[in-house]
């Protein structure tokens, strides 16, 4: 039996399942402070005989095995979790192999293996919600270098009619600062779920996301782009992206039919936890 943790800024999803991604038991735990949240996480997994655990975590995190802070959550805005030795705590609690990566990389792995990009050796998974993050599978491997991708913080061109300053505490008007859920709420004065009939809200959202996708396409050339997260539950954002992306690319590169190329997650809201199970599977294989 494999264990999986999808550690989000609002909640942790913990599950046990098998190497095919089938989830047998799961629980949601609020993300409060490490002492509270992690105590409940450990209590959940102690009920089961687990062979390994996969962790997909909010970040930034240190994914470099040669680093002294490998396995830690690093410069997160959630101050209680800053420099928290996540991987070490799990390994000490269970003594089993453990895989560790970002929540969006885990989701990309889930979608590439069992979801919307199944059968392809590359894909890009982007979540647009409380924050914006992206994970990528390139030639069958999770994209990782000196660190993990932080694609939500790229700079985009401001819409000429958008006077909003931006919400990101680091960069103000980066992609996340202009297009994540809190930016939508602050700019328009209400939560996105209450703005469904405001066409201008989602047209602007698609304008910024399309700019980001142009850059990702030109750099990574993914074979499928998967857009998840709460903001993308507003399906009209897809229509706006399909409108603006060709205008930006100007036929410089050819793309498949956009409605087949830029899609919702095939695994729905289970992409991250399924990918974390697959991280556990990989950790067990590497150990053996």
pLDDT tens per residue across span 127-175:
999 899 999 999 999 998 777 889 999 999 999 999 999 999 889 999 9
Identify the pLDDT of residue 248. Answer: 97
Query: Could you give the domains of the chain?
Result: 2-102 (3.30.420.40), 116-264 (3.30.420.40)
Identify the pLDDT of residue 164. Answer: 98
Residue whose C-alpha is closest to residue 22's, from 40, 2, 49: 2
pLDDT above 70 covers a percentage of the chain that reads 100
Supply the mean pLDDT for the chain. 96
pLDDT score of 249 more than 80: yes
pLDDT score of 238 more than 90: yes
- The tokens for 253 are 């590169």
pLDDT score of 288 more than 80: no
Residue whose C-alpha is closest to residue 109's, from 80, 148, 68, 140: 140
Cα(211)–Cα(191) distance, rounded to whole angstroms?
23
Identify the pLDDT of residue 69. Answer: 95
Q: How confident is the model at residue 9 (pLDDT cuts 50, 70, 90)?
A: confident
Identify the pLDDT of residue 230. Answer: 93
- The tokens for 11 are 């909640």
Identify the pLDDT of residue 225. Answer: 98
In whole angstroms, how far apart are CA 77 and each of 41, 61, 248, 264?
22, 12, 33, 28
- The tokens for 243 are 């409108």
Identify the pLDDT of residue 254. Answer: 93
Q: Please, where are the H alpha helices in the chain?
A: 34-45, 86-94, 103-114, 175-179, 181-188, 199-220, 236-249, 258-261, 271-287
Identify the pLDDT of residue 14. Answer: 98
pLDDT tens per residue across span 194-212:
999 999 999 999 999 999 9
Q: What is the 3-state secondary structure (H, E, C) of 120-163?
A: CCCEEEEEECCCEEEEEEECCEECCCCCCCCHHHCECCCCCCCC
Residue whose C-alpha is closest to residue 229's, from 221, 218, 220, 238: 238
């Amino acid at each position: 039996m494999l264990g999986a943790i999808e550690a989000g800024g609002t909640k942790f999803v913990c599950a046990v399942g098998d190497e095919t991604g089938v989830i047998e038991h799961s629980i949601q735990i609020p993300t409060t402070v490490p002492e509270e949240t992690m105590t409940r996480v450990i209590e959940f997994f102690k009920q089961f005989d687990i062979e390994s655990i996969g962790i997909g975590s909010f970040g930034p995190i240190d994914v470099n095995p040669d680093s002294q802070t490998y396995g830690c959550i690093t410069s997160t805005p959630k101050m209680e979790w800053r420099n928290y030795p996540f991987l070490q705590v799990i390994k000490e609690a269970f003594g089993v192999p453990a895989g560790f990566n970002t929540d969006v990389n885990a989701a990309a792995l889930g979608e590439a293996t069992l979801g919307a990009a199944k059968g392809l050796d590359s894909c890009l998974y982007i979540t647009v919600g409380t924050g914006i993050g992206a994970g990528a599978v390139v030639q069958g491997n999770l994209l990782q270098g000196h660190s993990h991708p932080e694609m939500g913080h790229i700079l985009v061109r401001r819409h000429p009619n958008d006077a909003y300053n931006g919400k990101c505490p680091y960069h103000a008007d980066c992609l996340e600062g202009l297009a994540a859920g809190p930016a939508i709420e602050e700019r328009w004065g209400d939560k996105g779920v209450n703005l469904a009939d405001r066409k201008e809200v989602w047209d602007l959202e698609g304008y910024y996301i399309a700019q980001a996708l142009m850059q990702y396409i030109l750099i990574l050339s993914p074979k499928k782009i998967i857009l998840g997260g709460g903001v993308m539950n507003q399906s009209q954002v897809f229509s706006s992206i399909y409108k603006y992306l060709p205008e930006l690319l100007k036929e410089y590169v050819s793309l498949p039919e956009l409605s087949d190329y830029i899609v919702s997650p095939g695994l729905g809201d289970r992409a991250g936890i399924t990918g974390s199970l697959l991280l556990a599977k990989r950790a067990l294989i590497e150990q053996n």
